[in-house]
Structure 1
Amino acid sequence: MIKFSAFPDAYETEQFVAHLLTSQGVIYPKCIATGKYENWNYQIAVKVEGQQIANETKEQKEYLLPMLLPELMKMNLVSVDHTSGYGWLDGTGNGMSSSWHEFILDTFKEE
């Protein structure tokens, strides 16, 4: 799968998150490469097969939930000890706000 963006450093954060999660056993699309082509930044990642659970029927969601919960629990246990901050992440995995309170207030200011 390839994605393009006009924003500088558009995929640094996603690459950080992909490495963080996959290195700790969480299923996440592996980032193969990032780069720049003319005025566009791009990311090439492994395409994961499947469909969005939100598009499934109620019965299918109920069937899938027991299989999904262990993956969500793994995500909850991912170590982020080497990062700091809260809210939106920069390319190094650090939150851009100094507290949750600051992040929430800034979010409401944007709206």
Structure 2
Amino acid sequence: MSSEHERRQFRRYPLRLRARLRHGLEEVEAEVLNASVGGCLLMAHLRVEAGALLEVSIPDLQVPPTSMAVVRCTPTDSGFMIATCFESPVADEPALVRQVSEGAGLHPKSVLPN
């Protein structure tokens, strides 16, 4: 039995960055908790079903509005943890490494509004 880490195709980087999510007519602020070339883990006040498509923009990674598929959405005490994958890879690894090395907002406080 392989672990989830072993199944991942791309390395994930811990981040704390702002993002915007759009699902249908809803648009909300989100927080990127980690990212890879293939997708990212988001925290947002938005419940979505696995398989749903979101439009996501992450300005600090120079990611313009991009289509992402929801892998899973899990409720938490502070919103929903949304695992996503890019329809096609758009973040590049050097940009992710640069964000992590610059601290990428790895602050204890959430960037999501309460």
Give the TM-score range, shorter chain.
under 0.3
TM, length-normalised to structure 2: 0.25
Between Structure 1 and Structure 2, the one with more helix by share is 1
